[in-house]
Amino acid sequence: MKRYEPSRTTLAAVIAGVTLFAPVALGGDEPQVEALVAECLEELARHRELDELRAPSAREASRARLHADRDLALNRLVKRALLDTEQRWAQSAASPDIVRLGAFQDDGPGESGIVHQASIDHDGDGVTDEGDLARAAQNPIADLISIPFQNNTNIDFGGLNHEQNVLNIQPVVPFNLNEDWNLITRTIIPVIYQPAAFAGDDHDFGLGDIQFTAFLAPTKTFGGWLIGGGPVLRFPTATDERLGARKWAVGPSAVVIKIEGPWVIGSLFQQVWSVAGSGDGNVSEFLWQPFINYNIPDGGGWYLTTSPIITANWQADDSDDRWTVPLGGGVGRVFRIGSQPVNCSFQGFYNVEKPDVVGDWTLRFQVQLLFPR
């Protein structure tokens, strides 16, 4: 029976498959991968020896030399592929080279409950996975540095039904305290355009009251949920009395999140009370922001989202002016401008409950710069 002789094309395909897919199939077992590649290389060497024995003529000898040169180039390609594979193993073993995006998932029943953070290998060109970045950007306590620019346009605001515009600049900076705890800081810097309230009144433009929140978040899940909490501090930084309360205010804030497959759902809560300041009256304000995000599988970073901001002013003179309850949603996408990951979203909300001075509709457009570590 004639012995089967694999061709060089077959061997090249086998080697390429081994270097590309064996690290996954064998669970990163480097010795097994090297053994498979070495066996293929030995087979190539045997082919060269057969070529030399089968070269009685100058033409066949020339063909044998051509095959040898081709085998040499193939050997160099395989060695380069092996080097790339070793570098990938080294990166997966060294935590400084891993982007920790906080796209957490529960270990499931019977497991340790330790949080899994989405890890993405990255190189100099900033290549990352848009799906994982989107889930991290949607997580208020993700281990991800970001700078959101969130613009809110309130239509038909005030007595003259003009537009109010609030641009919130919200840098988010996380700190890894240890393997069990993260501290995520979020600062909200509002830049406000306040239209005239009545005929003959002037509009105002300037800085509002800056707010700082520090979330202390364990890296473990609780029944599949991530939690975080900490203090809220509001500073009387408004450049005009119509742009802020001119009060120092403090209070608690908490967040709960669950990430399962393409879904990111959760809620953020806070309550602040004034403690000092020169402004008239006291401050007692409640905020609840539920959020639901569906990341479209294989959608190139596109997602559907809703994250209304529901507020209550407990100091309102009229109970009808206490609540603002918007309903709505929109769409967003994570993409790259050059090597810079960017998250953009647009949402529209109808206010089903609101004070008289607030209009029926709010439009929100956000551009968020992401900085994976």
Domain residues of the chain, as ranges?
Answer: 8-93, 130-371
Is residue 192 within 8 A of residue 221, CB to CB? The reply is: no
**Per DSSP, what are the bridge partners of residue 372?**
none
Distance CA 283, CA 315 (A): 7
CB atoms within 10 A of CB 157: 19
Q: Which of 148, 100, 106, 104 is nearest to 128 (CA)?
A: 100
Choose which CATH entry (3.40.50.2000, 2.40.160.40, 2.40.50.140, 3.40.109.10) describes domain 130-371.
2.40.160.40
Q: What is the mean pLDDT of each run of 10 residues along the chain (373 residues)?
A: 51 54 50 63 64 56 62 63 56 39 33 32 47 83 91 86 92 94 96 84 91 95 93 95 92 96 95 91 95 93 96 89 96 94 97 91 96 84
CB atoms within 10 A of CB 44: 21
What pLDDT shows up at residue 216? Answer: 96
Distance CA 44, CA 59 (A): 21
What pLDDT shows up at residue 202? Answer: 84
Kindly report the length of the chain.
373
- Report the predicted TM-score, pTM, of the whole model to 2 decimal places: 0.65
Is residue 285 within 8 A of residue 277, CB to CB? The reply is: no
Is residue 348 within 8 A of residue 363, CB to CB? The reply is: yes
According to DSSP, residue 115 is labeled P
Q: Reduced to 3 states, what is the DSSP secondary structure of residue 81?
A: helix
Is residue 69 within 8 A of residue 48, CB to CB? The reply is: no
Distance CA 134, CA 166 (A): 24
- What are the residues whose beta carbons fall under 8 Å from the beta carbon of 268, sequence distance 6 or more? 140, 253, 254, 255, 287, 288, 289, 291
What pLDDT shows up at residue 80? Answer: 63
Distance CA 366, CA 343 (A): 8
Handedness of CA 284, 228, 354, 277 (dihedral sign): positive
CA distances from 29 to 17, 18, 83, 122, 268 (A): 15, 12, 15, 22, 43
CA distances from 52 to 9, 38, 56, 76 (A): 19, 21, 9, 21
